[in-house]
Amino acid sequence: MTLIFSGNDYKYEIEGIMKLFIPAARFKHIFSDSFTAEDDHVVVGVHEEQDAVLLFVTVCYLGKSNRREQRLSKDDGSDRELILSRMLFDIMSGITGIVPKWGVMTGVRPVKRVNKYIDAGLSKDEMRDLFKREYYCSAEKFDIAYRTAMIQRRIMPTVTDDSFSLYVNIPFCPTRCSYCSFISQTIDSGKKLIPDYIRLICREIEYTAQISKDLGLKLDTVYFGGGTPTSIEAGQLSRIMQTIERSFDMSGVREYTVEAGRADTVTREKLETVKANGCTRISVNPQTLNDSVLRAIGRRHTSAQFFEAYDLARKLGFKHINTDIIAGLPTDTPESFNTTIEGLIALAPENITVHTLSIKRAADLNHAEDKQTVLKNPTGIMVDRASELLTENAYSPYYLYRQKNMLENLENIGWCRQGEESLYNIFIMEEIQTILAVGAGASSKLVDRKGARLERIFNYKHPLEYIKHFDYMLEKKKEIVDFYAEKK
């Protein structure tokens, strides 16, 4: 499929819209005012005329062609990219019969948008109309974004400008899942690096703690992610957690999460260790309770192992457990997905996070033979059913985000039982609190809500690079000081 841009360079937005309808297509881009194209193509034009600006979209696809156009006065400040996106959406919906539920909301954070509209004083009905008119967003998706925002608005006032969260990245896993796009090394191939990694991450923690102390910042939540943090040994986890305990003032910490995502890494010793060191919330992620699907995605554990890990966590007294699942996994079906949701609801975890499969470029699945079959999975049916069942069982959506390349352009939603929201997940998604991050692949997000500023500091991605360039990376952390100096 050729995308031709005349008088504009709206490549990312237009390609994003096309992927809603033909996700498996490969696109060729031409930026030119004179073009000839015989095969399937789209022309997106912005042409300056004497008294007006002509916007137009022409599509030739599957032997059908269609065109939309609109003239704006020269001083019209409307968002031209958005108008062209809507035209393209109309045409492609007509040709394919597909009507994506988030409409043209491709690079927009829906919950952030709702929060902005609430602050501006709009009523719920006005917001729903605006979502429909501006973005072609369905009432159903608007409602879920609205419900999410309402939960978040209870939490947001509890965040102070001098608070921050600490993120600790442990980029190791027992095996690599077929859909994974993270730089996470299998524990076997990364074995040699781990002692140095632990030593240096402890140094980075101490250094970060000193910066936060000098700036008078208060630690609010701690989150261990990855990778799978419980891939490393109990003693290694303990060493990192004790470094945190020694380096920061922990008296104000409201939430302390350790992801124990893979059931095949969970042992009594590790759970006891993280609990003894202050962890209040863990995440044990089955992704599916169907063993044949687990095999298909390369996870080396069974659903029985997940249940054992979950039971063990409850027996050891963990009061806040999250379980992640994914809709649209290879070989999964709506019936099997339904069984997974029902199985989890029966356990009554405090949080259930429903992800939609996203096939990223770096994932093995992106190059696999069954990619085309996976793209045709009826994922929307699975996600809708999850929303229905979770709502019926008193779960509410408390954070929601969307990524590139998600099946059917759907979303990830964190669901919680009443009052059991994970604070960190809201802070990171809505960008309302500074996150100071340590470890390979971690990125700090510096937030100045009053000044509407957001800056990121990226650590080296690969553990080997992290170890090699550690001093330089530590030096870069001084940017945190510069950011807060500007804030004052």
Note whether 169 binds ligand SF4 by CB under 6 A.
no
Helix (H) or strand (E) holding 389: helix 379-392
Q: Determine contact, residues 361/179, Cβ cutoff 8 Å.
A: no
| Least CB distance to ligand SF4 at residue 475 (A) | 28
Query: Binding residue for ligand SF4 (CB under 6 A) from 227, 330, 349, 441?
Result: 227
Compute the CA torsion angle 362, 367, 373, 377 (nearest 10 deg). Answer: 0
Query: Binding residue for ligand SF4 (CB under 6 A) from 68, 262, 301, 385?
Result: 262
- Give the number of C-alpha atoms closer than 13 A to the C-alpha of residue 273, restricted to the C-beta side: 20
Note whether 184 binds ligand SF4 by CB under 6 A.
yes
* Position with the least CB separation from ligand SF4: 180
Note whether 177 binds ligand SF4 by CB under 6 A.
yes
| Least CB distance to ligand SF4 at residue 377 (A) | 18
Q: What 3-state class would DSSP assign to 482?
A: helix
| Least CB distance to ligand SF4 at residue 184 (A) | 4
Token pair, residue 354, equals 């429903």
| Least CB distance to ligand SF4 at residue 233 (A) | 17
Q: By CB under 6 A, which span of 62-70, 220-228, 318-326, 480-488 interacts with ligand SF4?
A: 220-228
Note whether 185 binds ligand SF4 by CB under 6 A.
no
| Least CB distance to ligand SF4 at residue 230 (A) | 10
Q: What 3-state class would DSSP assign to 484?
A: helix
Q: By CB under 6 A, which span of 138-146, 150-158, 222-230, 236-244 interacts with ligand SF4?
A: 222-230
For residues 400-419, which are near ligand SF4 according to CB under 6 A?
A: none
Note whether 398 binds ligand SF4 by CB under 6 A.
no
Instruction: Mark 306-335 with x for binding to ligand SF4 (rule: CB under 6 A) and - for no binding.
Output: ------------------------------
CB closer to ligand SF4, 179 vs 398: 179
Q: Determine contact, residues 149/111, Cβ cutoff 8 Å.
A: yes
DSSP classification of residue 358: B
CB closer to ligand SF4, 135 vs 172: 172
Query: Binding residue for ligand SF4 (CB under 6 A) from 58, 106, 228, 422?
Result: 228
CA 395 to chain centre: 20
- E strands, 62-122, are 64-73
Note whether 261 binds ligand SF4 by CB under 6 A.
yes
CA 183 to chain centre: 16
| Least CB distance to ligand SF4 at residue 326 (A) | 9
| Least CB distance to ligand SF4 at residue 169 (A) | 10
DSSP classification of residue 393: T
Query: Binding residue for ligand SF4 (CB under 6 A) from 11, 176, 461, 462?
Result: 176
How far is Cα 164 from Cα 159, in angstroms, rounded to an integer? 9
At 422, give phi and psi (nearest 5°).
-90, 120
Q: By CB under 6 A, which span of 65-73, 180-188, 209-217, 465-473 interacts with ligand SF4?
A: 180-188
| Least CB distance to ligand SF4 at residue 413 (A) | 18
CA dihedral (354, 167, 224, 299) positive or negative: positive
| Least CB distance to ligand SF4 at residue 226 (A) | 6
Instruction: Mark 38-67 with x for binding to ligand SF4 (rule: CB under 6 A) and - for no binding.
Output: ------------------------------
Query: Binding residue for ligand SF4 (CB under 6 A) from 180, 198, 312, 406?
Result: 180
Q: Determine contact, residues 247/205, Cβ cutoff 8 Å.
A: yes
At 74, give phi and psi (nearest 5°).
-60, -30
- Give the number of C-alpha atoms closer than 13 A to the C-alpha of residue 372, restricted to the C-beta side: 3
For the sheet with 64-73, list strands across it: 28-31, 2-6, 41-48, 52-61, 64-73
Note whether 173 binds ligand SF4 by CB under 6 A.
yes
Alpha-carbon separation of residue 136 from 88, 91, 104, 121, 189 (angstroms): 12, 13, 6, 22, 47
How far is Cα 323 from Cα 260, in angstroms, rounded to an integer? 10
How far is Cα 30 from Cα 37, in angstroms, rounded to an integer? 10
Note whether 349 binds ligand SF4 by CB under 6 A.
no
Note whether 14 binds ligand SF4 by CB under 6 A.
no
Size of the site for ligand SF4 (CB under 6 A): 11
CB closer to ligand SF4, 184 vs 290: 184
Question: In terms of residues, how long is the chain?
Answer: 488
Query: Which chain residues interact with ligand SF4 by CB under 6 A?
Result: 173, 176-177, 180, 182, 184, 226-228, 261-262
